[in-house]
Structure 1
């Protein structure tokens, strides 16, 4: 064998060894990933089963469309406030607990957990504004609640503007907690529903929530409530019902763009004072009240979940505003 041939053979042997090593490394990485995903999935299943036994019931079930909708009622005041959550708030009645505790000495507070939220059932019915509004109204009818202030967070601004126009003889005021505005920008986005569903079913979502920052750190919730909220969040986040609602967000916002709040309906909007995510956040809300006979915007420091930190001020301002509006 000539010298060039020997060199070529040696080079070929080295390349083959390097290739074999690379294939072994890639194989080991693939096996490690598969094992990791398998462990995450199994731990998620075990945790789901364990937590399902530790979730403590609260409120009461109301039959709507043959399914159970959970509703928490607290307080015995002559006037009633109906509370609705923002999109994706997995445990509405507990999430509103600090605010409910401030309102309930003066009002009858009814926290409704729509299908897919809290301890309510899921549903296969499309999550259009029309269906959601109809279901909430049916729950209130079942409870013989026919006269009330309608109060809600975030996307309730979209469902609420439809609701107050459909049931004007029942709603005595609308109170928004950093509520959505139909014309706010950026709501025509398409969400990666399949990826979000995969995160849920694989157990990766649970792991991400576990490793992420604790959203309740520094808040006034007691430890037991926090534990319950975390377990119910693990159960509800990215479930089929809320993913369907996410899929309808764009069309629901578009459908609300032709609606305005009735001029004679008292309208109180608590608005985050420094919203970096939505351009013109305060002017958008000021535009909603400009034609109202009894309209007011109150800006507040805090996150989008103003009721987590400003619950006392919200309750005090609600009472003062309703006295002025009478």
Structure 2
């Protein structure tokens, strides 16, 4: 019995020492990760190269990249969390700009634009985007938006219908898609970013742009800017508003006489009924078309040529029908 008791006490001491060592190692790891993240953030700031132009909006600066000199204008709106939208859209901009004036807008909290303390409601976001275009003297244009721009686009075309000549969705969000009525893990994202763990996750995840049509300099700039903007207060506030923004968009529809072209990822397995949801958006449109495309959610990374060709043909047909 004495021997058994001694062995048990010894086992408990070893277990406690092991647990203590693990805790100390974890604390040291977190301290190192936290310190490296702070140092890296400061170092990377000086490596970011400016692009586009800054436009005064609501007392702040919004970054806008303009390329091409065509008579018709296309305004590009990014999906949620795209670190540097104007650079991310580069494959699409390069395909569009020989024919159109292309305006890639980086909303507050994105790219090289300022952040803002104003609530990220549909109305506020749309008002800011519109003010940026007004400052640039852009009065008539096609809205072409990726992902969550489908929600803001609904608000936009209903607010400024006289200015928008068409809406083009690139795997754009739909107000009734599943999962958007749930609270989002904002706290988790903030913790991962502040602790430096988000940087570690990105590092071990590999190059998200591998095999895509971006040169090394552009990929490096996108990485630097994505780190700068990671989980900032503006985009986190936007995430907090997903629930209410998607809900309020359910009361809206694209105007029937507005040309509506939706490019949709045809192999989406993440959102139930993804294709059907988009079919519902175009069915009542006088000039509506849905185009399924193979590829990932960022269709403009790999299918820009098809997007531009189909858009040009679509708009020609619309003009012939009028």
Distance 2:5 2:115 in 1: 62
CA-CA distance at 1:19 after TM superposition = 2.5
1:251 aligns with 2:244: yes
1:241 aligns with 2:234: yes
CA-CA distance at 1:264 after TM superposition = 0.9
What are the ranges of 5 or more consecutive residues in structure 2 without an aligned counterpart? none
Of the three residues 190, 212, 225, the one matched with 1:219 is 212
CA deviations 1:207-251 (Å, max 9, x no partner) are 000001321111111111111111111111211111111111111
1:38 aligns with 2:31: yes
Match of 2:19 in 1: 26
Distance 2:95 2:85 in 1: 16
TM-score, length-scaled by structure 2:
0.97
Q: Which range moved further: 125-134 or 187-196?
A: 187-196
Distance 1:273 1:14 in 2: 63
Instruction: Give the root-mean-square deviation of aligned CA atoms.
Output: 1.1
CA deviations 1:23-80 (Å, max 9, x no partner) are 2222211111111001101111111111111111000111111111111011111000
Match of 2:174 in 1: 181
| Alignment map for 1:1-326 (pairs within 5 Å) | 7-8=1-2, 10-326=3-319
SS in 2 for 1:81: strand
SS in 1 for 2:105: strand
CA-CA distance at 1:195 after TM superposition = 1.4
TM-score, length-scaled by structure 1:
0.95
Distance 2:148 2:17 in 1: 51
CA-CA distance at 1:157 after TM superposition = 0.6
CA deviations 1:150-182 (Å, max 9, x no partner) are 110011110001100100111010000011111
CA-CA distance at 1:131 after TM superposition = 0.5
Larger Rg over CA atoms: 1
SS in 2 for 1:115: coil
Q: How many pairs are equivalent?
A: 319
SS in 1 for 2:46: helix
Q: Which range moved further: 33-42 or 19-28?
A: 19-28
Distance 2:91 2:182 in 1: 32
SS in 1 for 2:71: coil
